[in-house]
Chain A
Amino acid sequence: EDQVTQSPEALRLQEGESSSLNCSYTVSGLRGLFWYRQDPGKGPEFLFTLYSAGEEKEKERLKATLTKKESFLHITAPKPEDSATYLCAVQLRGGSQGNLIFGKGTKLSVKP
């Protein structure tokens, strides 16, 4: 069964304390892996798409990487405004109409 697992479920950091979020996946064939940010009471906001192992994408303090089994979202020197739930999702090869399979998310809290 195709599966996406994110860890940890929750992460508390001090401002400036860098860390990484993990997304491991077991799928029949990967078309793309997506990272989203979700703030309370809002819809997921698109961050990155990764297509193949070895690929990296960066945006401000965030950097996403991809291997054949997992993806990492590295957060460098986080600020309180980075606090949110980060969602990982995969799109399968042969998957219907681009449907995404989401993990359960990592809730990140950054304290000043």
Chain B
Amino acid sequence: DTAVSQTPKYLVTQMGNDKSIKCEQNLGHDTMYWYKQDSKKFLKIMFSYNNKELIINETVPNRFSPKSPDKAHLNLHINSLELGDSAVYFCASSRRGEARAQYFGPGTRLTVL
């Protein structure tokens, strides 16, 4: 009965490849997020998305694109991977509304060689 799940947990790939990370939540939430945690453990928002609106952090390269097949899923596609993309990526979800707690998945550790 996992609340927010991500696959894969580990992803090792070569520079220039295209990869995807999947995220699913069974909490009935209507807003989902992607965060990046760098090597210094700093957690930073990349995207937030509900069925009406996608908000992109302006610092995120356009090689990154979220895709949502339905309300329970928000996948992250990354094109032309670079060394600097190596990090841990977390998916999260929340109910829409003021100051709603976000619930995080277990993370995907991406290593680009």
Contact = CB atoms under 8 A, between A and B. Distances in A.
A109 interface: no
A49 interface: yes
B53 interface: yes
Interface residues of A, number: 25
A105 interface: yes
Interface stretch (B14-22, B39-47, B75-83): B39-47
A96 B48 contact: yes
B90 A97 contact: no
B64 interface: no
Size class of B's contact patch? 20 to 34
B55 A96 contact: yes
B104 A102 contact: no
Interface in B45-63: 45, 48-50, 53, 55, 57
Interface stretch (A14-22, A39-47, A71-79): A39-47
Interface of A: 31-32, 34, 36, 41-46, 49, 51, 85, 87, 89, 91, 96-102, 104-105
16 contacts: A31-B98, A43-B4, A44-B90, A51-B99, A87-B43, A96-B48, A98-B31, A98-B33, A98-B48, A98-B96, A98-B99, A99-B45, A99-B57, A100-B45, A100-B102, A102-B44
